[in-house]
Amino acid sequence: MAREFLLPDIGEGLTEAEIVRWLVPEGGHVEADQPVVEVETDKAVVEIPSPFAGTVLRHGGAEGETIRVGSVLVVIGEDGEVEASATLAPEVEPSHAAAPIVGSLSEDAEVLSPVGLSAAGEGAKEVKALPIVRKLAREMGVDLGQVRGTGPEGRVTREDVVAAAPSTTEAQTPSGESMPQDRTASPAEDSAEDQRRPLSRLRRTIASNMARSWAEIPHVTTFDEVDATRLVEIRSALSTRHEVKLPMEALVIKAVIPALEAFPDFNATLDGDDLIVHGAHHIGIAVDTPDGLLVAVVRDAAALAVLDIASEVRRLGEGARERSLAPQELTGQTFTVSNIGAVGGGQGTPIVPYGTTAILSVGRAQEKVVVSNGDLAIAPVMPLSLSYDHRVIDGAQGRRFMALVIENLEEPALFLAG
């Protein structure tokens, strides 16, 4: 008997996911608990195992398609079983009765007629496309009637629309000549090189989160520098002793923990008129990936030794770049550290992640002239940028927090002995 497996909520508040890759084709055999599909949520790419063993009768969506939680992800039957139209497909008009059932998405697609033609008129061309593809076509100015569909039964896919999208439209010069021009540009602009492309799911999530944080959190950023001589020496010594490269984030996290304990408002969440001060220290680390910025979370960092934090930072960094982390490893941070020095950055104005009150950005250490015991010296100087929610944290408290972080970074023995 065929059984439907619905897309489960695999993350916190997940409402939909995009199908990245089917791991078992229609007609293929799948074992119970064997990964059947790879989907992309707002932040993670995860494999979903089949709860049943049997034959994959129908995929609930094509690769690249977005489906909602609770909708059919895959239909699995007994080996040798064929999906029955009477149980798994809605009634259709007699004119469509001959359409194939297994592997068909015709029940989800709409038949459209090209602009200017009647669907019943002579020469009318039926266009099959999912609603999300039709919406994309409208946004990109693509006439679906002129697009050759490469999906099942000639259905137009998102990739077909993107490939057919014009990057320019035609405008007339005063002499009547045609010249390429962007649809949104002013008539005087030459936009032949412009291209329009849809944002990826991850980039849309990043954009939404950044906009919400910037719109709702009144940011204050304080800047400073730290003499990183001892920090660099300790990092080098630990790396040599343990024969492993120690990520700078591990030492910074360890230095920040005492400051979070001394000033708990920096390890908190503002919830309406209440401030939730978190007992645990879940430190987010910003990871630069080919797909965009992700924040992976070191859980209970205060309970970990510096080498354990280093191991976790390396694991999370690799997992984020490979998009293999679980959703729970990408959510729930109570404070964030961003090492922009890893990509050559200095000072900046980091945006406070929504649901937290502060973020510390650490820049690249560079040799500068410093005053040490009344004498001039050359030392590696590391820039720091601390952004915080001014609704919760005042400027004086921000400076005190930064001063304690600097004290710890300049003498690592203060936090390594703890």
- Taking the C-alpha atoms of residue 418 and residue 414, their distance in angstroms, rounded to an integer, is 7
Task: Give the residue, 92 or 346, on which the prediction is more confident.
Answer: 346
Residue 94 has pLDDT above 60, yes or no: no
**In this structure, is residue 186 part of a structural domain?**
no
28-32, 39-43, 203-207, 339-343: lowest mean pLDDT where?
39-43
- Whether 324 is covered by a domain: the verdict is yes
In DSSP terms, which residues pair with 358 in a beta bridge? Answer: 388
In a domain, 191, yes or no: no
Same domain, 353 and 405: yes
Dist CA 97 CA 122 (whole Å): 22
State pLDDT tens for residues 183-205. Answer: 444 445 556 688 888 888 888 88
Q: How far is CA 269 from the centre of its chain?
A: 22
Q: Are residues 246 and 383 in the same domain?
A: yes
Beta strands in 110-250 (DSSP E): 110-112, 127-129, 169-172, 178-181, 219-227
Tell me the pLDDT band of 230, cut-offs 50, 70 and 90: very high
User: The CATH number of the domain where 118 resides is what?
Assistant: 4.10.320.10
81 alpha-carbon distance from chain centroid = 39
- Could you tell me which residues are beta bridge partners of residue 293? 288
State the residue range of the domain holding 142.
110-165
| pLDDT on residue 234 | 92
- Rounded Cα–Cα distance for residues 77 and 325 (Å): 31
Phi, then psi, of 215 in degrees rounded to 5:
-75, -35
Task: Using the predicted structure, report yes or no on whether residue 218 has a pLDDT greater than 50.
Answer: yes
Q: Would you say residue 393 has pLDDT above 50? A: yes
Q: Which of 62, 96, 130 is the last residue of a domain?
A: 96
Residue 315 confidence (pLDDT) above 90: yes
Strand 35-40 with 16-22, pairing? antiparallel
Asked if 346 and 332 touch (Cβ cutoff 8 Å), the reply is no
Q: Pick 151 or 276 by higher pLDDT.
A: 276
CATH number at residue 325: 3.30.559.10
What pLDDT band is residue 83 in, cutting at 50, 70 and 90?
low
340 and 246 housed in the same domain: yes
Q: What is the CA radius of gyration of the chain?
A: 28
Task: Report the CATH number that the domain containing residue 70 is assigned in CATH.
Answer: 2.40.50.100
User: Which amino acid, residue 75?
Assistant: V
397 contacts 375 by C-beta, under 8 angstroms = no
- Whether 317 and 373 map to the same domain: the answer is yes
For residue 44, name the pLDDT band (cuts at 50, 70, 90): confident
* More confident site: 212 or 117: 212
Cα 109 from Cα 101, distance rounded (Å):
13
pLDDT on residue 152:
59
pLDDT, averaged across the chain = 81
Tokens of 348: 């900046």
The answer on 267 and 120 residing in a single domain is no
Mean pLDDT score, 280-303: 93
User: Bridge-partner residues for 276, per DSSP?
Assistant: 269
Q: Is residue 101 part of a domain?
A: no
Return the structure tokens found at 356. Answer: 């937290």
pLDDT at res. 93: 41
Same domain assignment for residues 142 and 259: no
The rounded Cα 319 to chain-centroid distance in angstroms is 13
- Active-site positions read 390
pTM for the complete prediction?
A: 0.64
As a whole number, mean pLDDT of residues 244-256 equals: 94
In a domain, 265, yes or no: yes
What percent of the chain lies above the pLDDT cut of 90?
A: 43
In a domain, 402, yes or no: yes
At residue 85 the predicted structure's pLDDT band, cuts being 50, 70 and 90, is very low
Q: Is 359 part of a structural domain of the chain?
A: yes
Give percent above pLDDT 70 in the chain: 80
Distance CA 102, CA 109 (A): 15
Residue 353 and residue 212 share a domain = yes
- 142 and 276: one domain? no
Q: Please state, in angstroms and rounded to a whole number, the distance separating the CA atoms of residues 160 and 133.
A: 9
**Do residues 137 and 65 share a domain?**
no
Instruction: State whether 287 and 386 are in the same domain.
Output: yes
Is residue 353 pLDDT above 90, yes or no?
Answer: yes
pLDDT of residue 106: 33
pLDDT digits (tens, 9 = 90+) for 121-171: 444 456 776 655 676 787 788 888 888 888 756 778 777 888 888 754 443
Report yes or no on 306 lying in a domain: yes
Average pLDDT over residues 322-340: 91
**Domain identity same for 258 and 218:** yes
Tokens of 74: 């895959």
Does the structure show a pLDDT above 50 at 407? yes
Structure tokens at 145: 């009637």
The full length of the chain comes to 418
- pLDDT for 223 equals 96
**Domains held by the chain: number:** 3
Kindly state whether residues 126 and 219 are assigned to the same domain. no
